[in-house]
Amino acid sequence: MLVPVTFADGFATTARVFTFDGLADGREHVALGLGDRAEAPGPGACDRDPTPTRLHSECLTGDVFGSGRCDCGAQLRESVERLDASGGFLLYLRQEGRGIGLYPKLDAYVLQDAGLDTYEANVALGYGEDERDYTVAAQMLGALGVSRVELLTNNPDKADQLRALGVTVARRVPTGVHLSDANAHYLATKVVRGAHTLDLHVQP
C-alpha cells in the first residue's frame, strides 16, 4: 500500500507501508519502504547490499506533537528524507517511552521535572532504564527479505540486539544532532548513560 508522507516543513515523499502477522509481541508495528524500497519488492531485491534501515521507536509527544523535550520527531523527519534518498526501510516500532508506554512516560516527565534524568525516572517508576526489545524488528526484516543492514542510529544497543538476533549490521550510521535548550540535558544523558554516539559539548 502506497501512502503519501508530508512533514510540517513541506518535505514530502511516498512510502510503501508493510504490515505483519505473528510478531512476537502481538503489536501493530509497520515498516515504511522509502526511495527504491517503495517499489513493489521482488525476490531477493533487498539483500544484494546492506539495506539502509532505521528502527524508530514510537514517540507520540515528539513525532506527532513536536515536543522539544526529546529529539525523536527531528530524527524521524531526518531519517525519512535520508532513506528516501538512499532507498531503505523505516521500521516504526510501538515502543513508547523506551518500552514503558505513553502514560508511564508522562509520569516519568514529572519526575524529570523534579530532577531525575530520563533513565532514573524510568527506574523510579519500577521499570528498567530501557525496556525495548528488538525481536520484532528482526522478524520484520526477515519478512522483508533483509538480513544485512546499514543501521541509521546513534544507539549501539539497537545494533547489538539485531546482531544477537541474527541480523548482520554491516555498519552503524549516526543521525544528526538535534540539540536545543529544551533537550540538551536529555541528549547529554543519552550519551553518558546510554553510550549514544552524539557529538555534544554539554554536560548531563
**Residues 104-148 pLDDT 10s:** 999 999 999 999 988 899 999 999 999 999 999 999 999 999 999
The phi, psi pair for 106, rounded to 5°, reads -65, -35
pLDDT of 40:
66
What beta strand segments (E) does 158-199 contain? 168-173
For residue 194, pLDDT over 60 is answered with no
Check if 130 is active-site.
Answer: yes
Three-state DSSP at 150 gives: strand
* From 37, 54, 82, 132, the catalytic residue: 132
pLDDT of 49:
87
* From 69, 84, 130, 181, the catalytic residue: 130
Sign of the Cα pseudo-torsion (12, 57, 135, 48, in order): positive
The set of residues, in sequence order, having a beta carbon less than 8 Å from that of 120 and lying 6+ positions away, is: 111
For residue 202, pLDDT over 70 is answered with no
Check if 132 is active-site.
Answer: yes
Task: Report the C-alpha gap between 23 and 109 in whole angstroms.
Answer: 30
What beta strand segments (E) does the chain contain? 2-6, 12-18, 30-34, 51-57, 88-93, 148-152, 168-173
**Cell digits for 167?**
541480523
For residue 67, pLDDT over 90 is answered with no
Residue of 83 and 191 predicted with greater confidence: 83
pLDDT of 195:
54
Q: What is the mean pLDDT of the chain?
A: 88
The answer to whether the beta carbons of residues 79 and 54 sit under 8 Å apart is: yes
Residue of 52 and 68 predicted with greater confidence: 52
What integer is the mean pLDDT of 44-50?
Answer: 69
pLDDT of 183:
66
**Cell digits for 200?**
555534544
pTM for the predicted model, two decimal places: 0.88
**Cell digits for 77?**
523527519
